[in-house]
């Protein structure tokens, strides 16, 4: 009985995790890719020839089993980081990612010191 | 404390000015710098007459290869065509033409009217191959050396300056 229960649980969870692994939402990827020939539109918003081609390629990459990050990496490799609305973390843009946190810490310290001084 | 505050305010001020300066002077147009000096991507593209496929092995034999994406419906392709015709007469260079999202009869008429500068002719019916080469509009051309490295990428129609540049490289 215990064995059966364990088996059912195993099948249920393995199926669940398998489904979770496989789900890559193409619409989400289209929304995060910039249409290079349009004015401020994403691939998802655009009906341009370029957008149509990118949608086909994204579909192919998903079918090949590529993950969302791998697809962004592929597109950045071909068109530069500009094609991705949310750029990947790398040495060139590390400052962009880290600076808000530094500003937050400095700001917090500044406010704390200011309030402490007033009291 | 006053000194620290002043330094922080100065730092924030310089940071904001810096961000504005970088954002305003940055070229947001697509540029080809991410592809130059990179390896030619793997590809297997069908020939224009549907008889065979072209791969990286076909361009490995050549000293230099110019991959040109073109279509009969593309007006700037007509503008650059005389340059391609001139390039087709040069030694050391093989031109691989990739007919992009085009109709075959129109493409054939285009070549019979203006001449065929291509040593190899392939077609990219749905444009998927163009993405491998970072193409976003045509005409675009890519110059590749024997080591299959992308030496230069030309966005838009080839100009006389581009022609001179290519001649200088392939000499």
pLDDT tens by residue, B42-61: 999 999 999 999 999 988 88
Chain A, chain B: beta-carbon pairs less than 8 Å apart: 50
Count CB-CB contacts under 10 A for residue B133: 20
SS3 for B128-145 is HHHHHCCCCCCCEEEEEE
Contacts of A57 (CB under 8 A, 6+ apart): B128, B131
Chain A nearest C-alpha distance from B93 (Å): 24
Average pLDDT of chain A is 83
SS3 for B79-101 is HHHHHHHHHHCCCCEEEEEEEEC
Chain A nearest C-alpha distance from B35 (Å): 7
Q: Chain A window 35-74: which residues touch B at a Cβ cutoff of 8 Å?
A: 36-37, 49-50, 52-54, 56-57, 60
pLDDT tens track for B96-115? 999 999 999 999 999 999 99
Is the domain covering A24-88 a CATH 1.10.8.640 domain? yes
CATH superfamily of B31-170: Glutaredoxin (3.40.30.10)
Is B141 within 8 Å of B154 (Cβ atoms)? yes
pTM of the complete model = 0.76
Chain B nearest C-alpha distance from A78 (Å): 5
- Is ipTM over 0.85? no
Block residue for tokens 């530094």:
A102
Judged by a CB distance cut-off of 8 A, whether residue A80 touches chain B is: yes
Residues of B in contact with A60 (CB under 8 A): 128
Helix or strand (DSSP H, E) at A17: helix A2-22
| pLDDT at residue B31, rounded to an integer | 62
Exposure of B18 by Cβ count < 10 A (0-12 exposed, 13-18 middle, 19+ buried)?
A: exposed
Q: Chain B window 2-21: which residues touch A at a Cβ cutoff of 8 Å?
A: 4-5, 8, 11-12, 15
Is B128 within 8 Å of B135 (Cβ atoms)? no
Per the CB < 8 Å rule, is B136 touching A79? yes
Give yes or no for residue A69 having a pLDDT over 80. yes
Judged by a CB distance cut-off of 8 A, whether residue A82 touches chain B is: yes
**Average pLDDT in the B70-85 region?**
96
**R_g of chain A computed on alpha carbons:** 22
Give yes or no for residue B33 having a pLDDT over 80. no
Interatomic CA distance for residues A97 and A101, integer angstroms? 8
Exposure of B161 by Cβ count < 10 A (0-12 exposed, 13-18 middle, 19+ buried)?
A: exposed
Contacts of B124 (CB under 8 A, 6+ apart): B45, B69, B98, B99, B100, B101, B130
Tokens in use for B99?
Answer: 């007919």
Per the CB < 8 Å rule, is A53 touching B35? no
Judged by a CB distance cut-off of 8 A, whether residue A90 touches chain B is: no
């Amino acid at each position: 009985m215990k064995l059966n229960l364990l088996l059912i649980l195993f099948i249920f969870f393995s199926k669940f995790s398998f489904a979770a692994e496989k789900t890559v939402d193409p619409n989400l990827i289209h929304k995060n890719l910039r249409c290079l020939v349009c004015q401020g539109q994403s691939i998802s918003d655009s009906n341009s020839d370029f957008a149509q081609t990118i949608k086909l390629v994204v579909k192919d990459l998903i079918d090949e089993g590529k993950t969302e990050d791998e697809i962004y990496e592929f597109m950045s490799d071909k068109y530069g980081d500009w094609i991705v609305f949310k750029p990947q973390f790398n040495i060139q843009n590390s400052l962009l990612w880290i600076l808000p946190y530094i500003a937050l810490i400095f700001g917090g310290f500044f406010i704390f010191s200011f309030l402490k001084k007033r009291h | 404390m006053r000194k620290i505050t002043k330094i922080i305010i100065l730092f924030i001020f310089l940071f904001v000015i810096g961000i504005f300066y970088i954002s305003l002077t940055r070229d947001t147009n697509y540029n080809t710098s991410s592809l130059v000096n990179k390896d030619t991507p793997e590809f297997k593209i069908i020939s224009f007459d549907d008889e065979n496929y072209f791969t990286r092995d076909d361009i490995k034999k050549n000293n230099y290869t110019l991959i040109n994406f073109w279509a009969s419906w593309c007006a700037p392709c007509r503008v650059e065509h005389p340059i391609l015709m001139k390039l087709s007469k040069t030694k050391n260079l093989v031109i691989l033409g990739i007919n992009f999202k085009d109709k075959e009869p129109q493409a054939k008429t285009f070549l019979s009217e203006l001449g065929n500068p291509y040593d190899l002719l392939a077609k990219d019916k749905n444009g998927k191959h163009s993405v491998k080469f970072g193409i976003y509009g045509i005409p675009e051309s890519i110059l590749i050396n024997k080591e299959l490295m992308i030496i230069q990428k030309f966005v838009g129609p080839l100009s006389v300056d581009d022609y001179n540049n290519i001649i200088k490289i392939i000499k």
